[in-house]
Each structure stands twice: as structure tokens, then as C-alpha cells.
Amino acid sequence: MFSKLKMALALMPVCALGMLSAAADEFALQREEFAKYYRQITGKEAQEGLVRFAIDAKVSKSGRDAYAIVSGSGRAGRPRPADTARPEAAPYPDDGANLVARAEKIAALCDAMADLLALHTDYSLWESYQRLDAVEKVRNPDFPKTLFENASCGYCRSHQYELARYWYAPHARATAKNLAKAIADGDRKARLSPPAEPERIALKAKPLASLRPTSSRTAEDFRKVMRAIDSLCSASND
């Protein structure tokens, strides 16, 4: 089962992790660039309404637009020169509804990723600490916090269960909620992604043991998680 778990993680749509990346203050997207990234990530062609939303100069100005949600980057190079800027677009046919659905799917995938990571001890910070302590008694009482601090920094942040369950997933849900509200209010300057650092500090204050995975680890658990992921990836938001 472990080899299958590693393969599943390799195939997991990790673009959800990129939602924690800081957005650039100002940038503009070329139509072709957005379409390319969208096609690479979703395997589909972007609908015209979504493309226009993503490349709109007003949306791109604050650096918190559709590109950050779909590509997980938040950066798109240099701003477009003023003389080549596109005129203001007409009202979007889908009013951003398709974008909200995709943001909600990313949040659901974050939860599914946490379920997947819970299936093996290698992906738990707490269980890794326990293995280390079993080999040589850890004398520093603050070491679990140090371990979390290192794992959650911008350089090392990756596939850790405690981060996926208690940080990535809640952050993605909050972003999807903010996105839905911004579209409903017609607010193109709203901040979609909550500040990540306060979330990290609050999580670090909790005992690492309290964040450990508690679910069972059986072959049936693995099949159940993979079926859920397959269902999410197969569902259409178009």
C-alpha cells in the first residue's frame, strides 16, 4: 500500500499548495499565458468569460485575481505597457460562477490531500518526531515547535499532514469563500487569500501532538480516499 500511496501523492494536484504564495503587487496577464497555464492544470480549454476575468487590468492590478487561484502562482512577470493594455471588458457571461466552483474544488482537494497524507507515518510531523525520540531521547522540550517551524517555513512547506489538515485546507476554504463574496459584491480589489503568516503562528502555538493524524490505516481506507479524489477530479465545474 505504501508504494501506491507515494504514487498517489506524486499525482496529487499540488496546485492547491500554491494558494499560500504571496501575490505580486501589480501585474497583467497575456491571454495566451493564462490559457496555457489553465490548460496545463485542468486539461481543458478555459471558457471565454474566465479568460477575460483573469486578464482584466483592474483585477490584475492588485495581484489577487483568477491567476493566483487557477495557477497557484500569483506572479505573472512584468505589467503590460499602458499602450497595449486591453480595453475594459464587458460584463462576464458567467459572472465568475465557474471560478468559484473551481476554487471550492481546490479546497476540497486540500481536504482530500490531508486524508491521503494521514495514511502513512512518513507524512506526519508528530510521528516523525516520535521516531526520532525513540532512537535518541530528545532533550529540548521545545523541539516539536522547532520541527513545526522548520516544516512550515516557505522553503520547506510541502506534504506534511499537520499542515495540510490544519492550514492548507482551512486557508483554501477561506479563500474560496472570499472569492465568492468578492464576485457577488462586484469587488475586484478585494483581498481573496487571507494573510498566511498569522495562521502559521496560531497553529505553531498548539501542541504538535494535538495535530497528529488519528484515522485508521487500512487498505480499505486507502481505496476510500482514492475514490473520493477520483470523484473530485472527475467532476466538472464548467
pLDDT digits (tens, 9 = 90+) for 206-235: 999 999 999 999 999 999 999 988 888 877
Question: Would you kindly state where each structural domain of the chain is located, as residue ranges?
Answer: 2-234
Question: Is the pTM for the entire model greater than 0.85?
Answer: no
Structure confidence at residue 130 (pLDDT): 94
203-to-7, 196, 231 alpha-carbon distances in Å: 29, 11, 30
19-42 mean pLDDT: 55
Q: Which of 69-78, 115-124, 172-181, 218-227 has the lowest mean pLDDT?
A: 69-78
Other CB atoms within a 10 A radius of the CB of residue 207 amount to 11
Structure confidence at residue 48 (pLDDT): 73
Q: Which of 46-60, 117-131, 183-197, 219-233 has the lowest mean pLDDT?
A: 46-60
CATH of domain 2-234: 1.20.120
Residue 6 pLDDT greater than 80, yes or no: no
Residue 192 pLDDT greater than 60, yes or no: yes
Asked if residues 6 and 44 have their Cβ atoms less than 8 Å apart, the reply is: no
Residue 87 pLDDT greater than 50, yes or no: no
Asked if residues 138 and 95 have their Cβ atoms less than 8 Å apart, the reply is: no
